Amino acid sequence: MTGSGRWAGETPGQRYDRLALPFVRHYTRLLLHGTVVPDAGQVLDHGAGTGEVSLAIHRRHPTASVTALDPDPDLLAQLRVKAGGDAAWLAVVHGTLDTTSITISADVIFSQLVLSLTTNPGHELAAMRAHTAPGGTLRAAVLAGPDRMLAFAAYWQAASAVIPGALAASAYPHLRFTRPDSLRQLAEAAGWQQPRVEPADTHRTATAAQLWQWLSQTLPLYTADGDVIATDALSRARSDALRRATLEHLGQYRNSGGNYEVPTAGWLLTAVA
């Protein structure tokens, strides 16, 4: 998909970086903080996207080898550009732990904002465990529930009020981890030791226009039957109503300068193999 108007010719990876990175990068800082990566260690960036975490690891730990795994070839293309092409420290792998024959025995696995997007997070956690060296570490950032991940919840809640048949925010799998215990128990059942889940309380500061672009252009909308609602096909009036309702939900987070500071909370899961 390419952008339109000012963003015509933009690649999907550039689009992800423009719209999503201002939200994602708060998590990168939290995820990497305090995580020990051994010298010359093997790191797996699970769901690497455009390489936000892979590149941050390389900056902090230049002797580590990073494997960047993702099923989206468009995002991986942007990762390659940002890494400057073939780099000795980086292996880019297209696919998932299920679809590739990746043989890594990682010292650390980072997984940033991926688990909620997978159809079976418990299965994904077990696959990650199987690709970790004994004593290796998992650090995962996971979205919290609709009561804390208020930016996404506002958009989906507004959609359910404005678009007939649209799913309520609480029904989106992206926001399924409402309580830290549910994530901790899932990790334990997948064979991880000493799983610990801490709140990652972040927020996104943005203008109304930036907020609307980010939410409306990166989040899917579903019906209760699981069908995708084509937002491109919404009438102008309905799209305007959705925009107004979304910003109204977030009105209390508007600061005196007219910008929004919206809670975008998640969890940080740490566990040992």
Ligand X SMILES: C[S@@+](CC[C@H](N)C(=O)[O-])C[C@H]1O[C@@H](n2cnc3c(N)ncnc32)[C@H](O)[C@@H]1O
Chain contacts with ligand X (rule: CB under 6 A)? 24, 46-49, 52-53, 69-72, 75, 96, 112-114, 117-118, 124
Q: What is the largest CA-CA distance in the chain?
A: 57
The residue among 112 and 137 lying less far from ligand X, judged by its C-beta, is 112
Q: How far is the CB of 159 from ligand X (least distance, A)?
A: 19
The residue among 75 and 211 lying less far from ligand X, judged by its C-beta, is 75
Please choose, from the candidates 224, 25, 260, 244, the residue with its C-alpha nearest in 3D space to the C-alpha of residue 150. Answer: 260
Q: How, if at all, do strands 106-112 and 132-143 pair?
A: parallel
* The token pair that represents 103 in the structure block: 């043989």
CA–CA gap between residue 113 and residue 140 (Å, rounded)? 7
The residue among 97 and 159 lying less far from ligand X, judged by its C-beta, is 97
Q: How far is the CB of 273 from ligand X (least distance, A)?
A: 18
The residue among 66 and 163 lying less far from ligand X, judged by its C-beta, is 66
DSSP string, 89-131: TEEEEES-TTTS-----EEEEEEES-GGGSS-HHHHHHHHHHT
Task: Name the closest residue to ligand X (Cβ).
Answer: 49
Q: How far is the CB of 75 from ligand X (least distance, A)?
A: 5
Q: How far is the CB of 238 from ligand X (least distance, A)?
A: 26
Q: How far is the CB of 227 from ligand X (least distance, A)?
A: 20
Residue with the two structure tokens 């708060």 = 26
The residue among 191 and 238 lying less far from ligand X, judged by its C-beta, is 191
